Amino acid sequence: MKFLDEAKIYVRSGRGGAGSVSFRREKYIEYGGPDGGDGGRGGDIILEAVENLNTLIDFRYQQHFKAEVGMHGMGRQRTGRSGKSITIKVPVGTQVLAEDRETLIVDMIEPGQTYMLCRGGDGGRGNTHFKSSTNQAPRRAEEGWPAEEMWVWLRLKLIADAGLVGLPNAGKSTFLAASSHARPKIADYPFTTLHPQLGVVNVDDHEFVLADIPGLIEGASEGKGIGTRFLGHIERCEVLVHLIDCGEEDPVATYKTVREELEGYAEELVEKPEIVVLSKADQLLPEMVEEQRQILEKGIGKKVYVVSGVTQQGLKEIHREIRAYIDGERERRAREGREEEGFQP
């Protein structure tokens, strides 16, 4: 299945059916009076977030969604049939934006969440509603209410607990493959990963979702390489895992390059908790790896971990550290939520 994280679609609800102008015509009933029925209601356009989707590829082949119109009313006070609604299924984590690509309409972040994007028009009233003591034979009925229509952008931001960042060939795909059952493409050339990958990591009877995105290079925020278009998929992560190849000549400069590109995309990314990791430890002698670790720790002022996806070195320690950060962030948000509720009158 191909990965697509952005799509533009046209949606239109159904217009309401017109009311009917009709009079009762029966033998032996001289003054039957008006009996025109109401028009049926038009169908709605409804969005639903579902768990078994992780791409917007279906919207490449269908971009137009039009709900059924309501049927017009009929005599004998018969109401027209309502139009059928359309439910559009989208992956959890999909944002719906207006045509300007900036105005957020709704963020579909919960499985089973629904949102009425376009409301169907109400049906018009038949002439029965306009009967009065001074107008006992009204020849008036209402047209149905018009439909709603719009172009919208769907933008998918994957739901992951932790995200991997780093330069191309930093060992992110190997780390993901060693940590989970995901099978990303692994090769000895840059930009092996062309679209985000997800894996479920098990540690101490707990699970968390780990996301791998294509590597960043200097100038990515200006469009170089693959650019920063996939960084949206780690905006929802609780913690970032920054991988640096232990064979880099200047690991501090490498670290700063990635951080600058993250900041160029969104400041909220550089404010997220970060775990710095030297990867590919199996490719150097232990004393050389330790030297690189000390250089990096001194240069950035943060603790640096060492891992090897090939030999599994340090993986469990990193997994436990990631899990601790995830739990800590969730507890912090829950505590802030309780404090806000406490201030409500």
134 is an annotated ligand-binding site residue: no
167 is an annotated ligand-binding site residue: yes
Burial 146-182 (b: 16+ CB within 10 A, else e): ebbeeebbbbbbbbbbbbbbbbbbbbbbbbbbbbbeb
175 is an annotated ligand-binding site residue: no
8 is an annotated ligand-binding site residue: no
219 is an annotated ligand-binding site residue: no
The whole-number pLDDT of residue 7 equals: 93
194 is an annotated ligand-binding site residue: yes
Residues 118-127 have pLDDT tens digits of: 999 999 999 9
82 is an annotated ligand-binding site residue: no
Residues 196-255 have pLDDT tens digits of: 778 888 888 888 888 887 766 565 555 554 546 677 777 888 899 999 988 888 989 989
54 is an annotated ligand-binding site residue: no
The whole-number pLDDT of residue 38 equals: 95
The whole-number pLDDT of residue 170 equals: 82
214 is an annotated ligand-binding site residue: yes
244 is an annotated ligand-binding site residue: no
22 is an annotated ligand-binding site residue: no
Residues 50-83 have pLDDT tens digits of: 988 878 888 988 999 999 999 999 999 999 999 9
166 is an annotated ligand-binding site residue: yes
Give residue 178's pLDDT band: very low, low, confident or very high (50, 70, 90).
Answer: confident
Residues belonging to the chain: 345
168 is an annotated ligand-binding site residue: yes
Q: What is the pTM of this model?
A: 0.74
104 is an annotated ligand-binding site residue: no
Query: Within a 10 A sphere around the Cβ of 95, how many other Cβ atoms?
Result: 18
User: What does the alpha-carbon distance between residue 239 and residue 210 come to, in Å, rounded to a whole number?
Assistant: 10
129 is an annotated ligand-binding site residue: no
279 is an annotated ligand-binding site residue: yes
Q: What share of the chain is helix, strand, coil (3-state, %, to 5)?
A: 25, 25, 50
The whole-number pLDDT of residue 285 equals: 87
